[in-house]
Structure 1
Amino acid sequence: MPSHLAHFSSNKVSLLLFSFVSLRFWERLWAISSTMEVFFLSLLLICVLSVSIGLQFLFYKHRSHFTGPNLPPGRIGWPMVGESLEFLSTGWKGHPEKFIFDRISKYSSEVFKTSLLGEPAAVFAGAAGNKFLFSNENKLVHAWWPSSVDKVFPSSTQTSSKEEAKKMRKLLPRFLKPEALQRYIGIMDHIAQRHFADSWDNRDEVIVFPLSKRFTFWLACRLFMSIEDPDHIAKFEKPFHVLASGLITVPIDLPGTPFHRAIKASNFIRKELRAIIKQRKIDLAEGKASPTQDILSDLLLATDEDGRHMNEINIADKILGLLIGGHDTASSAITFIVKYMAELPHMYEKVYEEQMEIANSKAPGELLNWDDVQKMRYSWNVACEVMRLAPPLQGAFREAITDFVFNGFSIPKGWKLYWSTSSTHKSPKCFPEPEKFDPTRFEGAGPAPYTFVPFGGGPRMCPGKEYARLEILVFMHNVVKRFKWDKLLPDEKIIIDPMRMPAKGLPVRLRLHKP
C-alpha cells in the first residue's frame, strides 16, 4: 500500500476508535447528567469530530500533492501553511538565505521540495538551477505569481497577470532601447538635482529609504507619464507604497489586512491614473502632447492585430505595474549603496574621486550625458557588489508546465519552482569569501554565468536593467558630489517585506564637503 494511503488508513482507524470511546463516554454521561448538559456536551463532541475529519481530509489532500516517484528530498509542512512561515520569517529577520542553505546542508541537494504560499514547490539553488530555469522558459517552465497579484490587478481583458505581463514585455523595448535611454540621462540628472534641493539640502539628518523611494518614484512618473510636479506626484505616492507593501501577501480581504489596504490603494491609484489618461487623450488629439514623449502616449496609440486600441482600465493597470517595477527594486539598491558607503570610507573615497572627475569636466549647469555614465566603472562595480550582498529582488517563482527531471529528481507538472539570488550570491562556491565586500569581483569578465542574478536571467531577465543602472549611477553622482554621511544606527536591523530594507529606514547624519 502506498505510504500516503497507509497514513490515511491508520488515521481512519484512530478516528473510529476515538468515536467508539466517545460514544461509551456519552452513554455513561447520560446516566449522571441532565438532558441539557448532555445536549451541549453532545454538540461539543460533534464539533470535535467534524474538526478531526476536516483535518484528516486536509492532511490527505495536502500530502496527495506530493506523491510520485523520485521526488526531491524535503518537508511539506502543514496543510495550507506548508513551510511558508519559516520561509517568510527568515526574510523578516534579514537572512533569507538561511531557509535555503539549511536545507541544502540537511538534504545534501541543490533542489528540495517544500510547500510555499499554499502550493507544492521545489526550490532550485545554485548556478546550475538558475541556468536550468532561465534556459527552459516557455519550454518546461513559465512565470507564476501568487493569486494576490491577479486580485490586486484584475485585468479588464479577463486574461491573467502573466498574459498581460507578456504583452507589456513586447511593448517595453521601444521605450527602453539604447537611443531612448540616452535621452533619459539628462532628465534623470535634472530630477535628481531637484530631489536633493527639496529633500536633502540644508538638513543635518535624513532617513534614506523613504527619500530613495521618493526619488525613483518621481523619476518613474516623469519618464512614464511626463508628470513632474511634486504636488501631483505626492497625491498618490503614499497609497502607491501601501499597494506595493501588500501585493505579495496572504490574500485575505478583510479590513485591516495588508491585502485589503493594497486593494483599496490600487483602486484609488487606478482612478487617478484614468484621469491622467483621459487628459492625455485630449492633449494628443489637440497636438499638445507628443506621440513619442513617454510610455503613456505609446500605450494610448498602440493597437493589437485587429487594429483596436487598449481601453483606459487596461492602460491604467499596465502603468500601475510599470510604476511598481520601475522604482521599488532601485530604491532598495540605492539605500544599501548609501549604507555600505557609510560603512566603508575607503570605498566612498574611490567613488567620490571618480564622480568628481566627471563633475569637474562639466560646464556650469551642464547635465550628465551618456558618455559621463560610461566613465562610472568603479561606481557601477560598487553598486553590483552591493546588489550581490543585499539584492533587492530575493528570487522569483516559475511553474512547471510539464513533468521533467532535474539532477535526477522528478518535478511534476503544476509544481511551483523558486529560484533565489542568495543561493549563489552568498555561496562560497560562486564567490570566495562571500561576506567580504569586494568590488573587484566585477572587473574584467566578472562573475561566472548564472551566479550574479539581481535582475534574473534568460528571456525573463528584467527589461529595465539598463534603466535601473542609469538611475542608480545618477543618484550616486549627485549624492557623493554633495555629501559625506554617517549612520546614526550602527547596528540597524535589516528586514525583507517584500523588498530588502533597513528596519528604521537608514537615518544618516550629513556632512557637506568643504570648499
Structure 2
Amino acid sequence: MEPFFLSLFLILIFLISLSLFSFSSIFKSKSSTEQNSTDEKLHELPPGRTGWPFIGEGIEYLSLAKKGCIENFISTRKNKHNPMLFKTSLLGETVAVLCSAEGNKLLFSSENKLVKSWRPRNFGKIFDNSDKTSTIEETMRMRSLSIVIKESNSLQKYVEIIDQVAKDHLEKYWEGKEEVKVYFLARKFTFTLACKLMLNIEDPEVVEELQKLFDHIAKGFFSLPINIPGTTLNRAIRASREIRKKFLGMIKQRKIEIMEKTVLDYEANDIVSKLLLEKSKDGEGLNESEIANMILGLLVAAHDNTSVTVVSTVKYLAELPETYDKFHGEQKEIANSKGPEELLNFRDINEMKYSWNVICEVLRLQPPVIGTFREAITGFNYDGFLIPKGWKLHWFAYATHKNPKYFPEPEKFDPSRFEGNRLVPFTYVPFGEGPHKCPGRAFARLQILVFMHNLVNKFRWEKVFPDEQLIRDPLLVPTKGLPIRLYPQKP
C-alpha cells in the first residue's frame, strides 16, 4: 500500500476508534442537550458542521496539521460560519471553538463556574491516577506548584545551574561538529536539565533510561486508543507506571533525607525537595504520589514545549539574519560584561529584552501547544448562542495569534509587537491563562534565554534544507529534524 493511503487508512481507523470509544458520551451529551430543550427554543446552537458520522472533521484537522497550516482549519470556518465561534466534531466529541479574545477570557476566567478542564481519553489512561481528583483540587495543586517554581530565590539559583548545563551540553554535542540536528539535541538538553532541576538527577545512564520511558509516553498521547500488549498506547501506559514508580522511590528517599536533615532547606534547589519542604511548613500539602504525578506532568511541558521553542527560535534566526545580528549583539554585550568563568545571573536575564521579544514572536507564530479543551459543566449563552452542558470547548491560539485585528500583518516576524504594553488582553496565549496557566512559564523563559545566550555566542548557522518547515504530527516538529551547518564565532 502506498505510504499516503496507508497514513490515511491509519488516521481513519484512529478517528473511528476514538468515536466508538466516546459513543456513549455522545449520547450523554445529547441527553444533556435535551434537558436544555426549553433554552434551545430561545437560543440557537453555534453555527457549523460536525462532518462525517463518528469521524467528524478530524481528518481535515490532522491533514492541515501535517501540512503545517493548521490555522486554516479555523480561518475557513470563521469566515464561513461566525467570526466569534463555530461548532465542529473532534475526537468523537461535539466541540465549540471560540475564536476571539472575548472567548479566551470567558474560558480562562470561568474555571469551575461554567467550564472545567477536559483532556482526550488517551491522556487519562496514560496519567491514570489512583487518587481521582476534582478540577478544583487540581487547580489548587497547580497553584501550589506554580508558587514553588516562581519563588524568586529559586529562579535566581536556577540561572547558574542552567548556564552550566548549557555550556556542558554545547561542549559535548555541538563543538567540533560541522553539522547537527537541532531537534534531537534540544530534546536531550531540556530533558537532562529537567531531571537535574526537578529531581536532582545527574547520572547520564539514569537520565537516558528515563528519557526512553518518557519517549514512549509522549508517543502515546495521540496514538490509536487501543490498550492491548504491543500497541503504542499500551507501551505508553506501562512506561508511565514505570516512570512514576521510579519517581516515587526518589521522592521517598528525598523525604527521608529532609527529615534527617541530610538535605538542608537552603541546599534544596530541586523542585521535589521544595514541594516536600512546602508541605512541612503548614502540615498539609501533597503526598508522595501527588508529587510524582505533578513532576511527570511538569516534565511533559518542560521537555516537549521548551525544546520545540528552542528549535523554532534556531529556525527563525537562521532565516532572518538581521534579527540574528540584533539578538547576538545583545547577548554578546552581556557576555563581554562577565568574567572568563563567571556564570549568568538573574540580572543578566532581565537585560535580555530584545532576545525575549524575539522568542515571544516565535511563540506567537509557532506556539508549542495550539490550544486545550474545556467541558461545559452547565448550559450557558455566549454571543447569542447556546453552549449545552457536556459540550467540549476549544480555545485555539492561532485564532488570536494570527488575527490581523490583534496583530497587524500577522504573518510578518516582528519582535517590536512586544515592546511596551500594547497587547490586547487574552490575545497572546502561548502559555494559556487563568488557573491552568502553565506553572513553569518563568522556568521555561530561563531555559530558553540561557541556552540561546550560549548558542549565539558560540555559533552562527544556516539551515541545511532552506525550505524545511515546522509541522504538527501531532506535536510541533521540523520535517527533517532541522539539521544546520555550524560556523564558530570569531573570538
Please classify the TM superposition score into its range, dividing by the shorter chain length. 0.7 to 0.9
356, 360, 383: which one pairs with 2:336? 360
What is the total number of aligned residue pairs between the two structures? 460
**Equivalent in the alignment of 1:507:** 483
**Equivalent in the alignment of 2:428:** 452
With 118-127 and 456-465 compared, the bigger mean Cα shift is at 456-465
- CA–CA distance in 2 between the matches of 1:155 and 1:164? 12
State yes or no: 1:129 paired with 2:103: yes
**In the superposition, relative to structure 1, how do residues 161 and 451 fare at CA in structure 2: closer, same or farther (>3 Å)?**
closer
272, 280, 284: which one pairs with 2:254? 280
Q: Any conservation in 2 of the 1:152–1:263 contact (CA below 8 Å)? A: yes
For residue 208 of structure 2, give the secondary structure of its aligned residue in structure 1.
Answer: helix
**In the superposition, relative to structure 1, how do residues 359 and 191 fare at CA in structure 2: closer, same or farther (>3 Å)?**
same
**Equivalent in the alignment of 1:81:** 55
- CA–CA distance in 1 between the matches of 2:74 and 2:288? 42
1:180-211 Cα distance to aligned partner (Å, 9 max, x none)? 21221111111111111111111111111111
1:451-505 Cα distance to aligned partner (Å, 9 max, x none)? 1111112332222221111111101100000000110111224221342110221
Q: CA deviation at 1:327?
A: 2.4
Q: CA deviation at 1:315?
A: 3.0
**Equivalent in the alignment of 1:375:** 351
The runs of at least 4 consecutive aligned structure 1 residues that moved more than 6 Å come to 57-60
State yes or no: 1:185 paired with 2:155: no
113, 124, 128: which one pairs with 2:87? 113
State yes or no: 1:150 paired with 2:121: no
Q: Any conservation in 1 of the 2:459–2:487 contact (CA below 8 Å)? A: yes
Matched residues, percent identical? 51
Q: CA deviation at 1:239?
A: 1.9
With 127-136 and 191-200 compared, the bigger mean Cα shift is at 127-136
Q: Any conservation in 2 of the 1:156–1:314 contact (CA below 8 Å)? A: no
State yes or no: 1:479 paired with 2:430: no
**In the superposition, relative to structure 1, how do residues 276 and 472 fare at CA in structure 2: closer, same or farther (>3 Å)?**
same
For residue 121 of structure 1, give the secondary structure of its aligned residue in structure 2.
Answer: strand
- CA–CA distance in 2 between the matches of 1:153 and 1:165? 16
With 345-354 and 236-245 compared, the bigger mean Cα shift is at 236-245
323, 326, 330: which one pairs with 2:302? 326
**Equivalent in the alignment of 1:431:** 407
What code does the residue aligned with 1:392 have?
A: P
Q: TM-score, with normalisation over the residues of structure 1?
A: 0.83
For residue 384 of structure 1, give the secondary structure of its aligned residue in structure 2.
Answer: helix
- CA–CA distance in 2 between the matches of 1:496 and 1:434? 20
Q: Any conservation in 1 of the 2:298–2:440 contact (CA below 8 Å)? A: no
What code does the residue aligned with 1:362 have?
A: K
Q: CA deviation at 1:303?
A: 4.6
- CA–CA distance in 2 between the matches of 1:107 and 1:389? 24
Q: Any conservation in 2 of the 1:127–1:424 contact (CA below 8 Å)? A: yes
Q: Any conservation in 1 of the 2:64–2:73 contact (CA below 8 Å)? A: yes
**Equivalent in the alignment of 1:28:** none
- CA–CA distance in 2 between the matches of 1:142 and 1:309? 23
**In the superposition, relative to structure 1, how do residues 83 and 452 fare at CA in structure 2: closer, same or farther (>3 Å)?**
same
- CA–CA distance in 1 between the matches of 2:312 and 2:176? 23
Structure 1 unmatched ranges of 5 or more: 1-53
**In the superposition, relative to structure 1, how do residues 495 and 256 fare at CA in structure 2: closer, same or farther (>3 Å)?**
farther
- CA–CA distance in 2 between the matches of 1:229 and 1:221? 10
1:323-365 Cα distance to aligned partner (Å, 9 max, x none)? 1122221111110000000001111010111000000000111
With 76-85 and 58-67 compared, the bigger mean Cα shift is at 58-67
- CA–CA distance in 1 between the matches of 2:379 and 2:290? 34
Q: CA deviation at 1:446?
A: 3.3
What code does the residue aligned with 1:279 have?
A: Q
**Equivalent in the alignment of 2:378:** 402
- CA–CA distance in 1 between the matches of 2:107 and 2:277? 35
- CA–CA distance in 1 between the matches of 2:288 and 2:176? 42
- CA–CA distance in 2 between the matches of 1:394 and 1:155? 26
**Equivalent in the alignment of 2:313:** 337
315, 319, 327: which one pairs with 1:351? 327
Q: Any conservation in 1 of the 2:368–2:475 contact (CA below 8 Å)? A: yes
- CA–CA distance in 2 between the matches of 1:211 and 1:405? 47
For residue 372 of structure 2, give the secondary structure of its aligned residue in structure 1.
Answer: strand
**In the superposition, relative to structure 1, how do residues 313 and 115 fare at CA in structure 2: closer, same or farther (>3 Å)?**
same
For residue 340 of structure 1, give the secondary structure of its aligned residue in structure 2.
Answer: helix
State yes or no: 1:96 paired with 2:43: no
With 456-465 and 467-476 compared, the bigger mean Cα shift is at 456-465
Structure 2 unmatched ranges of 5 or more: 1-19
**Equivalent in the alignment of 1:6:** none
**In the superposition, relative to structure 1, how do residues 60 and 166 fare at CA in structure 2: closer, same or farther (>3 Å)?**
closer
**Equivalent in the alignment of 2:208:** 234
- CA–CA distance in 2 between the matches of 1:404 and 1:345? 50
- CA–CA distance in 2 between the matches of 1:183 and 1:253? 43
**Equivalent in the alignment of 1:206:** 180
For residue 336 of structure 1, give the secondary structure of its aligned residue in structure 2.
Answer: helix
396, 406, 424: which one pairs with 1:420? 396
1:45-87 Cα distance to aligned partner (Å, 9 max, x none)? xxxxxxxxx9xx9999499467652100111223443222322
**In the superposition, relative to structure 1, how do residues 302 and 81 fare at CA in structure 2: closer, same or farther (>3 Å)?**
farther
1:349-388 Cα distance to aligned partner (Å, 9 max, x none)? 1011100000000011111011111111110111011111
Q: Which has the higher contact order (CA 8 A, sep 6+)?
A: 2
Measured on the aligned residues, the alpha-carbon RMSD in Å equals: 2.5
